[in-house]
A and B are shown apart, each in its own frame.
Chain A
Amino acid sequence: MIRVHALSKNFNNFTAVDQVSFEVQRGEVLGFLGPNGAGKSTTMKMLTCFIPPSSGTAEICGFSILDNPLQVRAQIGYLPESAPSYDEMMVGEFLNFVAEIRGYGGKELRRRVSIVIEMTALGEVKNQMIETLSKGFRQRTCLAQALLHDPPVLILDEPTDGLDPNQKHEVRSLISSISEERTILISTHILEEVEAVCTRAMIISAGKVVGYGTPDELKSQSLYRNSVKVSVNGADPKQLLKDFNELDFVYSVERLPEKRKDLVTMRLYPQNKESIALKLEQYLFSQQIPIEHFNVSLGRLDEVFRELTTGKQS
C-alpha cells in the first residue's frame, strides 16, 4: 500500500507539489486527476524514488522512499509518462532485459515474460523492433515491463495516453482485472477513465490536493447533481416555466436550447441537490404533461473538475 505524508517538491522558486498527503490501500485504484502541470507526474517520480522530495515522506509497503529506495523500487511496477523504452530492442528482448534486471533467470524469467506478453496481448509483435511499433503497442510494452515482477504496487502515469478507444478499453479492463490484490495509482486527465477504473479519485491543482473521494462523491459536488432534464411536447414555454418554478422541490429552472420546434426542453435543479425524479414524475403524470425525454443527471465530473481546478463554475 501507499502512504504519503506532506510530500512537497520545489524547483527553485516554483512549488510543483505542495504538502500532498494521501493513502491508497490494497485493492484500491486511486485516480490522480489534474490539469497538465498540476504535479501529478512529479508526485509519481518521487514515489518511485526517481527524484527526491524537498520535504515530507512516503512509504510503499512499509518502506520509506527516503531510507530504502531500492526496496521501494522492488515493490513498484512503474509506467513513466510517454512510456519510454529502448527503440533498438525487440519487444521480447526488452522484456527479458527488464526481467534480468529484476533478478530473474532461466525458466522463471521465460515464464514471467510469457505471462506479461499474454496479459498485454503483445504476442504478435514479440519479435518486432520497438521503434517500428505503433503508439498503442509501445504503451503496452512499457506496461508489460511494469507487470513483470508481479508488483504489489503499480504506479501508472497516463497509461492510456495516445491510445485509440478500443485500446483504451483494453488497458482499462486489464487494470481492473489485476486491481484486486494490488495497490494502484494512475494519473490521467481523462475523466471518463476515473469513472471506468478508479475506486477513488484525487484532484490536484497547482500542487495542492483540491478534491478527494469516490467518483460518486466527487460528482455529488456538481451543480447538476440530481437535476432533471425534461422535454415536453407542444407546450407553452412561458406557462411551463411558471408551473415548474412553483413546485416546492424545485430550486430553479433553466430553459435549454432545443433543435426540434415541437419540443420545449428545461432543466430543473432540485432544492439541496436532493433526488426529485420521483416527485417530478408524479407531478408530470398528474398534470398529464406529454413528456418526450426525461433524464436525471448524477452530476458531471468535468464540471466539478473545472470548478476545483480553476475556481470557476462552468
Chain B
Amino acid sequence: MNGFYPIFKRELLAYFRSPVAYVFIIIFLAANAGCTFLLGNFYNSQQASLEIFFLFHPWLYLFLIPAVGMRLWAEERRTGTSELLLTFPVRMTTTVFAKFFAAWFFIGIALLLTFPMILTVHYLGSPDNGPIITGYLGSFLMAGSYLAIASCTSAMTKNQVISFILSVVICLVLVLLGWGVLSDSLNAVFPVWISDFVSQFSFTTHYDAIRRGVVDLRDLIYFISIIIIMLILNVVVLESHKAS
C-alpha cells in the first residue's frame, strides 16, 4: 500500500480547496433537514427516532453522491494529471482505493455533521440509540456503494456530466430493484421468489434491514462486495483505457 496515504490526503484536501466541499455539505444538510421535517412530517410522527431521517437517504444519495464521485477520475483524465499519477511507482489498485477512501471519508464528514438531528431527538424524547447507530452505519456503507459506482463511471469518461448521469442511472436501478411497486407488479406475474431474488440486488432491501437496527452480516457483505467489485471494475476500466 505504498503511496496510499499521500494520495488519500491530496484527494481529501482537493475537496476542501474547491467550492465542491462546501456546496455539497450545505446542500446535503439542507436536503436532509428538508426531507425529514417537510416531506417526512417529522413532528407529526410523534416519535423520538431518526427513522424518517434515514428513510430518505437512498434518494438523497442518488444525486448527491454521483456529484462527489464524478470528478474522481474524469477530472484527472481531462487535465492529464492521470498520466502523472499513474506513472508514479504506486500500484493502480492502491491509487484507486486511496482516491475512493478520500471521497468516502469526505462523505463521512458530511454525514457526521447531521449530528444536530441526534441532539434533537434526544431533546424531544428518549430514543433508542441502537437503530440510530446502525442507521448511520447503514447509511455510510450505502454511500460507499454509490460512491464506488460513481468512481467507476468517472473512469469511463473525460466528461464529468456523462459520468454523473451514468452513475445516477446505475444507482437508480439498484434502488428501484427493491422498490415496493416493482415487487408488487412482479408478484402479479411471477412467483414470489422472483421478486425476492431481484430485490436482493437492491440497496434499499439491505439498507432497510440495517437501519431498523438489525445488523445482519449478509447486508454488510452486500455493501462491501459492491464497493470492492466496483473498484476492481474501476481498475479494469482504467487499464483498458490506457491500452486503447
Q: Which residues of A contact B (CB under 8 A)?
A: 11-12, 45, 48-52, 70-71, 73-74, 76, 78, 80-82, 84-89, 97-98, 100-103, 142, 145
Contact = CB atoms under 8 A, between A and B. Distances in A.
A145 B243 contact: no
Interface stretch (B3-11, B36-44, B49-57, B145-153): B3-11
Interface stretch (B84-92, B104-112, B167-175, B179-187): B84-92
Nearest to A45: B83
A135 to B, nearest CB: 14
A100 B79 contact: no
Contact of A85 (B6, B9, B81, B242): B81
B80 interface: yes
A51 B87 CA distance: 10
Nearest to A146: B84
B6 A97 contact: yes
Contacts of A81: 80
Contacts of B10: 86, 89, 97
Interface string B61-98: 00000000000000000011101101111110000000
A212 B5 CA distance: 44
A52 B243 CA distance: 6
Nearest to A12: B244
A82 B79 CA distance: 10
Interface string B200-244: 000000000000000000000000000000000000000000111
A52 B242 contact: yes
Interface string B1-24: 011011101100010011000000
A102 B242 contact: no
Contacts of A52: 242-243
A50 B239 CA distance: 9
B80 A70 contact: no
Nearest to A98: B88
Contact of B242 (A51, A74, A76): A51
B9 to A, nearest CB: 8
B136 to A, nearest CB: 30
A80 B80 contact: yes
Given A84-B79, A100-B6, A145 B87 contact: no
Interface of B: 2-3, 5-7, 9-10, 14, 17-18, 79-81, 83-84, 86-91, 242-244
B87 A80 contact: yes
Contacts of B242: 50-52
Contacts of A11: 244
A100 B90 CA distance: 11
B6 A101 contact: yes
Given A97-B10, A101-B7, A84 B90 contact: no
B14 A86 contact: yes
B88 A73 contact: yes
Main secondary structure of the interface of B (DSSP, over half): helix
Contacts of B89: 70-71, 73-74, 101-102
Contacts of B244: 11-12
Contacts of A70: 89-91
14 contacts: A11-B244, A70-B90, A73-B87, A73-B89, A74-B89, A80-B83, A80-B84, A81-B80, A85-B84, A87-B79, A88-B18, A89-B14, A89-B17, A101-B89
Contacts of B90: 70, 101
Nearest to A47: B87
A295 to B, nearest CB: 44
Given A82-B80, A97-B6, 4 more contacts: A50-B86, A73-B88, A84-B80, A103-B2
A102 B83 CA distance: 16
A74 B5 CA distance: 18
Chain A CB within 10 A, most for which of B7, B84, B88, B244: B84
Listed residue (A45, A88, A89, A142) with the most chain B CB atoms within 10 angstroms of its CB = A88
B167 to A, nearest CB: 23
A85 B2 CA distance: 21
Contacts of A45: 83
Contacts of A88: 14, 17-18
The 4 A-B residue pairs whose C-beta atoms are closest, nearest first, are A84-B80, A100-B6, A88-B17, A73-B89
Given A82-B80, A86-B81, A88-B17, A49 B87 contact: yes
Contact of B84 (A12, A51, A100, A145): A145
B243 A84 contact: no
B90 to A, nearest CB: 6
A141 B242 CA distance: 25
Contacts of B14: 86, 88-89
B3 A101 contact: yes
A100 B14 CA distance: 16
Contacts of A103: 2-3
Given A50-B242, A52-B242, A102 B88 contact: yes
A179 B41 CA distance: 72
A103 B4 CA distance: 11
Contact of A84 (B17, B84, B88): B84
B5 A100 contact: yes
